[in-house]
Chains A and B, each alone.
Chain A
Amino acid sequence: MFAWSLELAWLIVLLPFAAFALIGLFLHRWPRLSAYLSILAIGLSFGLSVLVAAHVFLGGMQETFEVSMRWLAMPGLNVDMGLLIDGLTAVMLIVVTSVALLVQIYSWGYMHGDPGFSSYYAYQSVFAGAMLGLVLANNFGQLFVFWELVGLASYLLIGFWFGRHSAKNAAVKAFITNRVGDFGLLLGILFLQIIFGTLNFSGLAAEVAGYTNTAILIVVSILLLAGPIGKSAQFPLHVWLPDAMEGPTPVSALIHAATMVAAGVYLIARAFFIFSATPEVMMLIAVIGGFTALFAATIALVQNDIKRILAYSTLSQLGYMVMAMGIGAMTAGMFHLMTHAFFKSLLFLAAGSVIHAIAGEQDIWKMGRLKDKMPITTWTFVIGALALAGIPPLSGFWSKDEILLGAFAGGYTGLYLLGTLVAFMTAFYMFRLIFVVFFGSGKGVEKAHESPPVMTIPLIILAVMAVIAGFVGSPLMDYAFARFVTYPGAVHYEASTMVIAISSLVAIAGIGLAWAIYQKEWINHLQMRERFSGIYTLLYNKYYIDELYHWLGQRFVYGTAKALFWFDIYVVNGLVNGLAALTGGAGKVLRYTETGQVQTYAAYMLAGVIVIVGLVVLAGFALLI
């Protein structure tokens, strides 16, 4: 069908970058024009992506499409810039461009009047271009380049309101934490280059298949895994994501919920041929993912900041996806990535609409009864939350169920139970938020108002997606998703009624409990807080992990820095200055010999002659004897 669209696929990446360059160089004085240009570029990218996806899914494209150009070449090292298009790429293209487009449109309303309006759109364009370059990459070198560039965009956008100390610090924290992960990723890539001599995905897939040194493969896989742990904010590198909420809310929706943080999951899927070669590493992935899912969900139970609750929920859901990868249910993980992108960006944008309406307030206890003032925001948020909680037949239900099914049918009973528990918590904390903010008995906020259509229309579109996006992977459509997005080694199971029933019941139970506590107030949540104050404080302070890192950083990194500086000044430099002093001192001593009197010099000469003659005589004697 649209085969020609593949030939134009490079434009998908280039258009946003071009928009960035134009805004940065010429248009930064015209905010409206900048925004139009940026939206136009991502709109065109979206259009092209739709054509590409149509070709891949409907046109029956059999083989993967790959082209590349020389970028950095020398004998022994080739890094290309290329395009690789298959089912996985096509899904990511649609997700990234559609959410990015909607977020950029929404931002028109949200960011209106901000002095940095042009820069905001410039950064958004960088992000879109880099993210698309990442998903289209056909080799690890290119992937790393764009991987870092999305990190840059994230840094710039988290620190967008750079006048705030908190935003500045959050931006640095995000970048550094990611760098720690990238350190591993880069080493992994170096290993691949040295061992296999290529970074190309298809080339590597062929090489790895015939490679037998398991120990090396395990090392390489674990190093590579560090990248996704940083980018997808898995434990123990998760600390940056909640702080990243300092950025404007549309940014949180796009980058820190829907797309960039999913890049880690995408990397695992893309390099599935490496990870799936070693069961040990797969198990590690599953455990990290499962642990993060539970860990983050428990923290989300007690947070009070609307964006932080969503941020911990994102962490938890990313944990789900990573866990899915680890148990081999790669298709399910990607499916959840897609549905999550829609409903989580919906939730963030709706939260942004709330924050926008009540002048930047983010504490849920200062909101209440917003449903009367903001009906569209309220109901779209509820749809998003239902999808996240996994209520059938919304999208989150199908994808979460696939993961739980994978764990159950694959024999990972522990992870299955853990996943089900997390599903219960998810439903609970989401509806705690909803009852407190939108319903509840609170007195409400007087000046609240519904957002303008430029913000509500993207909400409605995303709500529709959050409802229907799940069908493509459901038994109703014969698991269409799984047919296109799969790799050798990925497992897939037929739906099980029992798993479906249990996960639905659990979600409903979570909602019911939240309703009982926060709507009906049958149970006083403040008393609960008192009774379990120890656990509450631990959770509220996020298990004190940030404090631990801070302490370690101050203690070791800066301590070492100070010690080494002292060493440099007093030892390395001191030696040099000592030498100089020695030279100077010697000069001073010798100066006394230079009296300027001919008699003294003559005396020295005589003494010298005597010494020499004496030596000669002595030498003569020595020879004689």
Chain B
Amino acid sequence: MLLLTNLIGFSAVYASWKVADRVKEFFSLLLILITGVMGTFLTTDLFIFFMFYEVVVIPIYLLVIMFGSSKRVTKEYAGMKLTIYLLIGSAFLLVALVALFVKSKAILGFPTMDMFTLASADFPIGFQIFEFVLMALGFGTLLSMFPFHAWSPDGYAGAPTAVSMIHAGVLKKIGGYGLIRIGLMILPGGAAYVAPIIAVLALGNVVYAAFICLSQKDLKYIVGYSSVSHMGYVLIGIAALNLISINGAIIMMFAHGVMAALFFAMIGNLYEKSHTRNVDDFGGLAHQMPRLATGFMIAGLASLGLPGMVNFIGEFTIFVGAFGTYKVLTILAVSGIIFTALYILRTLGAVLFGPRRPEWDHLQDLKGVEMVPLLVLGAAILIGGIAPFTLMDLINLGVGDLVAQLGSLQIGGMF
């Protein structure tokens, strides 16, 4: 019951802000997409989970190639790349699930796909490791784990605003969710072996992607790579396998979801009006568009983990949790806060501040319905950041049981 409460609460938090996303003429595809995401979060059956997950991929492909935009890469390439990556990821997942199904017959006497039944089964350790590697590959691709992240920046850049928002905001989180709920819950033994590897790769995410952000000029690429970088924190949180770090990873997923969605909403709005996303084309936009600038600032400051924003809670919690397990890795990961601040502030500075540029005088500031993403997502960021106990209570309910499963495991040490 606790788990169920947590599940619904967890999904509800997501759902509450998805409503705010601007839906346009591709309404129906988008709804299928949302349904798919909701389905994966709500189900307790692995088969249904997988089915919904596949449901998600197809509309994304269509949305990208039909409504996307071509810049550095064409939208067809972006859509193709995104879809193929995700499908390959899901192929690993399918193998893992089928193997689990077959093996459960040997262990439990009857084959099952129910998560909780599987969680109670005691799989041999070799099998667990094999399974967890497959899942880490499958979910890791979805979570843009280094070096399987290449779809993410191109895909986001090609995708239309709403898809980028949902994709970075929620869809990616299925990876983290799956890794926690399916990976850790059913295969705690395997997780203990594979986690250190994930943690090392995650460090690749955090630092490597943050550096790449520094050299980017296209706003969507910056946010794309920055989301790869932030997923590194989530992965480290998961890989540290303790209550604090997993709590942190969950908060971080929520936080990054809202933040990335706000970022993409602002970029989309700006692109729609100015037809460019190149940082160097802009400058001093805060003169013409103070509200848009506010949105950018909130998203940016959240992104660099400023206290008062929900992202800080996630980062801080992950760091505390992971520090107990991986000393050196965490120290290196914490350095991410410097580089993130560097690329975010440089970008914000280049786009929003500086002398007024008359060629953008015709741009209209956000008004009416355009304000909705800013208000809703901005409020979510701030409320979560100022009063984290509201979120924590919800998450604590579910994670406690999960960690009890991991309880006796010893990991890390060498890092």
Which A residues form the contact surface with B (CB < 8 A)? Answer: 70-77, 79, 141, 144-146, 148-149, 152, 155, 159, 162-165, 167-169, 171-172, 175-176, 179-180, 182-183, 186-187, 190-191, 193-194, 557-558, 560-562, 564-565, 568, 572-573, 576, 580
Contact = CB atoms under 8 A, between A and B. Distances in A.
B307 A162 contact: no
Query: Secondary structure of the B side of the interface?
Result: helix
Interface string B339-364: 10110011001001111100000000
B201 interface: no
A180 B301 contact: no
B244 interface: yes
A168 B337 contact: no
B388 A71 contact: yes
A152 B301 contact: yes
Contacts of A580: 84
Nearest to B338: A179
B335 interface: yes
Contact of A573 (B150, B214, B287, B313): B150
B216 A565 contact: yes
A506 B85 CA distance: 74
A27 to B, nearest CB: 15
A197 B321 CA distance: 12
Contact of A564 (B212, B306, B388): B212
Contact of A194 (B84, B247, B312, B323): B323
Contact of A172 (B244, B321, B346): B346
B396 interface: yes
A146 B306 CA distance: 10
Contacts of A164: 354-355
Given A144-B307, A561-B211, A74 B247 contact: yes
Contacts, number: 135
Contact of A186 (B212, B243, B334): B334
A568 B301 contact: no
B244 A557 contact: no
Task: State the 5 A-B residue pairs at the shortest beta-carbon distance, nearest first.
Answer: A561-B214, A145-B307, A162-B353, A561-B215, A168-B353
A165 B354 contact: yes
A167 B331 CA distance: 32
A557 B215 CA distance: 10
A128 B15 CA distance: 37
Contacts of B227: none
A74 B244 contact: yes
A190 B338 contact: no
B147 interface: yes
A174 to B, nearest CB: 10
B67 interface: no
B47 interface: no
Given A179-B337, A194-B324, A568-B150, A163 B284 contact: yes
Contact of A175 (B150, B242, B284, B341): B341
B289 to A, nearest CB: 13
Given A169-B349, A557-B342, A77 B320 contact: yes
B389 A70 contact: yes
B296 to A, nearest CB: 13
B319 interface: yes
B317 interface: yes
A180 B287 CA distance: 30
Contact of B150 (A169, A180, A576): A576
Nearest to A144: B307
B295 to A, nearest CB: 14
Contacts of A165: 354-355
Contacts of A183: 334-335, 337-338
Given A72-B313, A168-B349, A562 B389 contact: no
Given A149-B308, A172-B345, A572-B150, 6 more contacts: A163-B354, A164-B354, A560-B211, A561-B211, A576-B85, A576-B150
Contacts of B392: 72-74
Contacts of B353: 159, 162-163, 167-168
B188 to A, nearest CB: 18
B208 interface: yes
A175 B297 CA distance: 14
A136 B120 CA distance: 49
A172 B147 CA distance: 31
Nearest to A553: B342
14 contacts: A71-B389, A74-B243, A141-B316, A145-B308, A165-B355, A168-B353, A169-B349, A171-B349, A172-B349, A176-B342, A183-B337, A186-B319, A565-B211, A568-B208
Given A152-B306, A176-B342, A564 B208 contact: yes
B307 A149 contact: yes
A176 B356 contact: no
A561 B319 CA distance: 24
A565 B212 contact: yes
B286 interface: yes
A165 to B, nearest CB: 6
A175 B306 CA distance: 11
Nearest to A173: B345
A162 B212 contact: no
A77 B399 CA distance: 14
B330 interface: yes
B284 A186 contact: no
Interface in B302-332: 306-308, 312-313, 316-317, 319-321, 323-324, 330-331
Contacts of A152: 301, 306, 308
Contacts of A180: 338
